[in-house]
Structure 1
Amino acid sequence: MTVDAHKETLEFQAEVSQVLNLVIRSLYSNKEIFLRELISNASDAAEKLRFEALTDDAFYEGDSNLRIRVSVDKERRTVTIEDNGIGMSRQEVTETIGTIASSGTKKFLEALGNKSDDSASQSQLIGQFGVGFYSAFIVADKVTLETRRAGLGAEHGVRWESTGEGAYSIETIEKPTRGTSITLHLNEEEDEFLESYRLRSIISKFSDHISIPIEMLKEQYGAEEKEDEEKAEPEWEQVNKGTALWMRNKSDITAEEYNEFYKHIAHDFEDPLDQVHNRVEGTNEYTSLLYIPSRAPFDLWERDQKHGVKLYVRRVFIMDEAEKLMPHYLRFVKGVVDSDDLPLNVSRELLQHNKKIDTIRTASTKRILGLLEKMAKDEPEKYQKFWKEFGRVMKEGPAEDFANKERIAGLLRFASTKSEGKDETVSLDQYLERMQEKQEKIYYITADSYAAARHSPHLEVFKTKDVEVLLLTDRVDEWLVSHLTEYKGKPLQSVAKGQLDLGDMEDKETLEKEAEEHKGLLERVKTALGDDVKDVRVSSRLTESPACLVADEHDMGANLQRVLKQLGQDAPQTKPILELNLKHPLVEKMDQEPDEDRFADLSRVLLDQATLAEGGQLEDPASFVHRLNKLMLSLSA
């Protein structure tokens, strides 16, 4: 059958051109990585074919022996990586290679731009983003890809070719066999990759664990053998061990092998932070190998971000991103789970209500939490690195995973009033150890920045009494404290909500007496402010500032209202309570002010100042400035 040679030349998507330019400038830490990346992609293609063939073995087209072949042509100066996996259609080639279909692309490129002088950092960022195919241009000045998707006719083959300079050509070709071959036309200075022994050593180093056989032509030595070789059919031999790494004994696996396997499954270029490897036997038999990455991916917070570990059944790949095997707050975990008991035709729908999957998920969650607990205890610096990358995600845990709420809470870290800076954190257990003798609550404040929290007037009495307060400044913190209301029997209490209760650490009788003595002042201020406040009362929080705003015990706090508005959600309008520091000179002077108009202006200025002090915005800034100027002029008169 003839092929309509539909050929066109297209420009790369703008972001792809930027990535290509960075890659071509050799941002990867070493050039040999290109072979690992292309073999890894070929392995994924073979496993995807095996999965699709579970329901229709016609995809095998009569050949179920999956393999990857690496060959060299010294005369043409090419290296070819070929697989007989799932292959790609013309549309898939265009979508996969002509564009980078990721919502994190822009952030990725911005981050690279911010690290333009640090090639090592750029290399790490590229690895995070997973643009492995483009690594071919590190060693090649032209790349030719030929592919055909399994199940399509030979006339649906596709050839893609590019020099990596902004454009590529794509055409329809005749391709009798399914799968993909990628031919690298090497740069002049890359002769080392034309040597078979060099490629074999790279495969042994980076790809030994891949379960799909990786083959190269068997080498002959001596004149007679070479003559026989030319006459005989080429003989391929497997050059990798091809044993699923997770099925081997832990004692037989080196740290380097664990790290290389992680890079293969995660398409990452950095070593993982840690891993846990387990074999479970009994009524539910399975093996799990789970990794914690060193760095958060760019799409960690994207709604369409794919996550989850790879699921195998008796060494047969079933699916990527099996999200039911890991809770959402642990979506950064990478790895594999290989079950002996699940059916080979398991689908995502079947995973939704499967007791064996639930058992695996529960056990895997506990293993990750145990790994993190051990890291926090034995390697605090390493855990601090983990927390910096994934702390905000872990804060989703108490709301999502009620069964492990206390364990997750023990892993949380916060800045506090006793920290040197926002990067120095404290655990809840450390907080409990440092509590004052008569202190009964864990105090915290939420704000939209570290500076706003650290300098909040709500903290003044706590500084005076040397009581530590946790400073919560992530958006997710509001979600966290709405579900984590106590820890080890100690309630968590916002210092900016409700009537402050310091228990035996405060003199309640004195406060009640002051409120009664200044009842007239409180009523005057409330009258002046009208419906803008819910109440005006004496403050037990303040020692330096004249006033502050607090939310009623069951009302939504000001910071949560701001967070919801930033997210485009409606927030109920609640009125704040204004608390006054009766010992402040400004409040004392107000109490003696006979002019009601001037008193009203002072009351308004106090309310506006309190709003600004907690990071809020004024509805009418011009009026605030006008009142302030008027009061300042009256002082100088």
Structure 2
Amino acid sequence: MSTETFEFQVEARQLLQLMIHSVYSNKDVFLRELVSNASDALDKLRLAALRDDSLGADLSDLHIQIDVDPEARTLTVRDNGIGMSYDEVGTLIGTIANSGTAALLKELEEAQDEAGAEGLIGRFGIGFYAGFMVADEMTLVTRRLGESGGTRWSSRGEGTYSLEKVEDAPQGTSVTLHLKPADPENQLHDYTSPWKIREIVKRYSDFITWPIRLVPQPGDGEEAAEPETLNSRKALWARSREEVSADEYHELYKHVSHDWRDPLETIRLQAEGTFEYQALLFLPAHAPHDLFTRDFRRGLQLYVRRVLIMDDCEALLPPYLRFVKGVVDAQDLSLNVSREILQQDRHIRMIQRRLTKKVLSSVKEMKANDAEKYATFWREFGAVLKEGLLGDPDNRDAILAVASFASTREGDEPTTLQQYVERMKDGQEHIYYLTGESRQSIENSPHMEVFKARGVEVLLLTDPVDEVWVDAVGEFEGKQLRSVAKGEIELDVQGGDQQDGAREEQDESYAGLLEWMKEQLGEEVKDVRLSTRLTVSPACVVSDAHDLTPALENMYRAMGQEVPVTQRILELNPDHALVRGLRQTYAEQGKDRAELAETAQLLHGLAVLAEGGQPKEPARFVKLVAERLERTLR
């Protein structure tokens, strides 16, 4: 049969060269990846046979076989799984672009240490090409179930690969690595050594369902004449807790998540009764870089009676738990099931409810028993977990129980809503909060002034989702959640009362100025009134109690939604010298108040800037400031 030669993409060639010539502290991962690919092929064959018995698949001895030839320096990983067609080889093996080549190349180049570079192999899912770390050439021979002919693929990792149709290929796939010359000074990486193969399989692939057999070679010193099964073949989630070590859990996590770090927490669940299933879940120690992107791949591996059904089953957990990794092995689901059917399957919905509660209860236990581990979890995943306050009302109380927030109380430790309520001052009716881009910007906001002066605690909310969930939740233990930047503030706490008579007299003395300023500012404001929240700043802008905040308006517009511009309220501090002077000048100038009108514009612009906004006409505002400064220097 004729052989065709193809070129890798430019980025793929660069990637291969990096992988071949970079020095890794642990190259053993190549065998883990090849065995994993073989296991997937066997899973797919068994599933195909169960769905369609007319395929005539031989299920009598499904296995993975490893052959080593020390003299020829070759290592071969074989399986009698589903195999690949000629087109599938070209698509799945001949192309690396599907794995995000450009992103991987950039991160490999930026990896400064061996461990960091090594971890990227599993992270980007290009395990087949990991073989080039130890081999000068790789050859793949495969035949797909139901086809009479096979395909041979080969490459030296130097920019090209060849494809050839062959007639004598057995069903399944074999990958042969022509290993690099042996290093006499480093026998730890002799991949033709049986003990080395045993070590790698035990460490990385012991949980795989299918037998992994090592075929001894004549003269290698092994007494056994029959192939030796290297793995226990018992999935970790099916073994008792006492039988499984932490290292085994960690390796399974790395296998299903493509993360090179150990998980933060391991969660086991076994449901018995009318519907049985087992779950082994992991909470990562770090948030993936694409957690908040649309392309983030979420979901758990779904097995039915140890047969892999789906790699990323999104229906098993709600979107706000998309960072959780792991496997679920159910006993009674139909094997012939699609993603659409899964969304409606009552058993799947039952599993989702149970897993969700289990994850939240595990986080609650972590919070109670391991403050450091909880702090790591909340720092990495708190923002995404709070999305559940919007989309999962059934578990809202459970989420609030594990949520923590920065606040103005002394010390840097975050607080829970329960702790906040317990510390509320006598007479305080509401839970106060303020949203913003950063803690520093919130603490410096003029809206906070009276709360600082009265010693009233305020929650400091800096995640984008905080703009939304506070309105959805509304209250906690009968205490309303109130933004200090919305509505009117009446602090009925000890030491904070203002005499009604004095307030009425003050309102009356400013009535004319307030009405005049509202006319001057026109559509820029909904109203102008005296403030009860300012103690230092001359003015601030606030939203009405039920209006959208500017940040929320911008969020909706970024999502393509039409949102009308909301008029804000300008509040003046009647005790500030600038505002008192403004009132006096207004009273003295009569009808000729042109310069005073400029002052009103400047005061409004400064209030908008103070909350992180931008004046409606920035150029005009800057011109007014410059002219006013110029006049002060004359």
User: When the two structures are superposed, what TM-score results if normalisation uses the length of structure 2?
Assistant: 0.90
Deviations 1:325-375 (A, max 9, x none): 211111121222222222333333332233322222211111111111111
Residue 579 (structure 2) aligned to one of 587, 595, 608? 587
Residue 68 (structure 1) aligned to one of 64, 68, 77? 64
In the alignment, is the contact (CA less than 8 A) between 1:58 and 1:151 conserved in 2?
no
Q: Show the counterpart of 2:186.
A: none
Q: Show the counterpart of 1:232.
A: none
Q: CA deviation at 1:391?
A: 1.7
Structure 2 distance, partners of 1:473, 1:414, is: 9
Structure 2 distance, partners of 1:616, 1:110, is: 36
Kindly indicate whether residue 4 of structure 2 is the aligned counterpart of residue 7 of structure 1. yes
Q: Show the counterpart of 2:617.
A: 620
- When residues 93 and 450 of structure 1 are mapped into structure 2, their CA distance, relative to the original with a 3 A threshold, is farther
Q: For residues 253-402 of structure 1, what are the structure 2 equivalents within 5 Å?
A: 253-402=244-393
- When residues 248 and 352 of structure 1 are mapped into structure 2, their CA distance, relative to the original with a 3 A threshold, is same
- When residues 224 and 160 of structure 1 are mapped into structure 2, their CA distance, relative to the original with a 3 A threshold, is closer
Name the amino acid aligned to 1:500.
Answer: I
Structure 1 distance, partners of 2:218, 2:152, is: 34
Structure 1 distance, partners of 2:264, 2:397, is: 24
Q: For residues 135-284 of structure 1, what are the structure 2 equivalents within 5 Å?
A: 135-155=130-150, 157-163=151-157, 165-174=158-167, 176-189=169-182, 192-218=190-216, 235-284=226-275
More deviation, 309-318/204-213: 309-318
- What secondary structure sits across from 1:391 in the alignment? helix
In the alignment, is the contact (CA less than 8 A) between 2:45 and 2:57 conserved in 1?
no
Deviations 1:565-615 (A, max 9, x none): 344443221111111111222222222233521111111112222222222
More deviation, 120-129/275-284: 120-129
Structure 1 distance, partners of 2:571, 2:222, is: 98
In the alignment, is the contact (CA less than 8 A) between 1:13 and 1:99 conserved in 2?
no
Q: Show the counterpart of 1:578.
A: 570
Structure 2 distance, partners of 1:487, 1:109, is: 48
Structure 2 distance, partners of 1:56, 1:513, is: 87
CA RMSD between the two structures: 2.7
Structure 1 distance, partners of 2:437, 2:140, is: 50
Structure 1 distance, partners of 2:111, 2:118, is: 11
Q: Show the counterpart of 2:550.
A: 558
More deviation, 616-625/172-181: 172-181
Q: For residues 467-616 of structure 1, what are the structure 2 equivalents within 5 Å?
A: 467-504=456-493, 506-507=496-497, 509=500, 510-593=502-585, 594=589, 595-616=592-613
In the alignment, is the contact (CA less than 8 A) between 1:314 and 1:338 conserved in 2?
yes
More deviation, 77-86/424-433: 424-433
- When residues 176 and 138 of structure 1 are mapped into structure 2, their CA distance, relative to the original with a 3 A threshold, is closer
Structure 2 distance, partners of 1:587, 1:338, is: 69
In the alignment, is the contact (CA less than 8 A) between 2:543 and 2:568 conserved in 1?
yes
- What secondary structure sits across from 2:190 in the alignment? helix
Structure 1 distance, partners of 2:445, 2:43, is: 56
Deviations 1:205-260 (A, max 9, x none): 2211111111111466799979xx7xxxxx43321111122111112211122222
Deviations 1:492-543 (A, max 9, x none): 1111111123233543535444223211121121111011100111111111
Structure 1 distance, partners of 2:579, 2:106, is: 50
- When residues 596 and 120 of structure 1 are mapped into structure 2, their CA distance, relative to the original with a 3 A threshold, is farther
- When residues 133 and 440 of structure 1 are mapped into structure 2, their CA distance, relative to the original with a 3 A threshold, is farther
- When residues 18 and 628 of structure 1 are mapped into structure 2, their CA distance, relative to the original with a 3 A threshold, is farther
Residue 450 (structure 2) aligned to one of 461, 465, 468? 461
- When residues 214 and 387 of structure 1 are mapped into structure 2, their CA distance, relative to the original with a 3 A threshold, is same
Deviations 1:372-426 (A, max 9, x none): 11111111111122222222210111112111101111222323234766xx533
- When residues 583 and 149 of structure 1 are mapped into structure 2, their CA distance, relative to the original with a 3 A threshold, is farther
In the alignment, is the contact (CA less than 8 A) between 2:300 and 2:312 conserved in 1?
yes
In the alignment, is the contact (CA less than 8 A) between 2:137 and 2:179 conserved in 1?
yes
Name the amino acid aligned to 2:417.
Answer: L
In the alignment, is the contact (CA less than 8 A) between 1:162 and 1:168 conserved in 2?
yes
In the alignment, is the contact (CA less than 8 A) between 1:69 and 1:216 conserved in 2?
yes
- When residues 430 and 12 of structure 1 are mapped into structure 2, their CA distance, relative to the original with a 3 A threshold, is farther
In the alignment, is the contact (CA less than 8 A) between 1:148 and 1:158 conserved in 2?
no
Q: CA deviation at 1:71?
A: 1.4
- What secondary structure sits across from 2:136 in the alignment? strand
Q: CA deviation at 1:557?
A: 0.5
Q: Show the counterpart of 1:635.
A: 632
Name the amino acid aligned to 2:6.
Answer: T
In the alignment, is the contact (CA less than 8 A) between 1:396 and 1:479 conserved in 2?
no
- What secondary structure sits across from 1:79 in the alignment? strand
Deviations 1:287-335 (A, max 9, x none): 2211112222333223243322122222222222222221111112122
- What secondary structure sits across from 1:583 in the alignment? coil
Name the amino acid aligned to 2:353.
Answer: T
- When residues 487 and 8 of structure 1 are mapped into structure 2, their CA distance, relative to the original with a 3 A threshold, is farther
Structure 1 distance, partners of 2:424, 2:274, is: 47
More deviation, 172-181/539-548: 172-181
In the alignment, is the contact (CA less than 8 A) between 1:147 and 1:175 conserved in 2?
no
Name the amino acid aligned to 1:132.
Answer: G
Q: CA deviation at 1:547?
A: 1.2
Unaligned ranges ≥5, structure 2: 184-188
Structure 1 distance, partners of 2:453, 2:104, is: 46
More deviation, 43-52/390-399: 43-52
User: When the two structures are superposed, what TM-score results if normalisation uses the length of structure 1?
Assistant: 0.90
In the alignment, is the contact (CA less than 8 A) between 2:143 and 2:173 conserved in 1?
yes
In the alignment, is the contact (CA less than 8 A) between 1:87 and 1:180 conserved in 2?
yes
- When residues 224 and 62 of structure 1 are mapped into structure 2, their CA distance, relative to the original with a 3 A threshold, is closer
Deviations 1:259-292 (A, max 9, x none): 2222222233222111121222222222221111
In the alignment, is the contact (CA less than 8 A) between 1:295 and 1:389 conserved in 2?
yes
- What secondary structure sits across from 1:283 in the alignment? coil
In the alignment, is the contact (CA less than 8 A) between 1:280 and 1:287 conserved in 2?
yes
In the alignment, is the contact (CA less than 8 A) between 1:581 and 1:587 conserved in 2?
yes
- When residues 517 and 22 of structure 1 are mapped into structure 2, their CA distance, relative to the original with a 3 A threshold, is farther
User: What fraction of aligned residue pairs are identical, expressed as a percent?
Assistant: 45
More deviation, 238-247/57-66: 57-66
Structure 2 distance, partners of 1:401, 1:223, is: 62
Q: CA deviation at 1:108?
A: 5.7
Q: CA deviation at 1:203?
A: 0.7
Unaligned ranges ≥5, structure 1: 230-234
In the alignment, is the contact (CA less than 8 A) between 2:51 and 2:336 conserved in 1?
yes
- When residues 131 and 412 of structure 1 are mapped into structure 2, their CA distance, relative to the original with a 3 A threshold, is farther
In the alignment, is the contact (CA less than 8 A) between 2:141 and 2:169 conserved in 1?
no
Name the amino acid aligned to 1:130.
Answer: G
Structure 1 distance, partners of 2:563, 2:190, is: 64
Name the amino acid aligned to 1:193.
Answer: Y
In the alignment, is the contact (CA less than 8 A) between 1:315 and 1:338 conserved in 2?
yes
In the alignment, is the contact (CA less than 8 A) between 1:325 and 1:361 conserved in 2?
yes
In the alignment, is the contact (CA less than 8 A) between 2:68 and 2:215 conserved in 1?
no
Structure 1 distance, partners of 2:102, 2:420, is: 40
Structure 1 distance, partners of 2:221, 2:544, is: 92
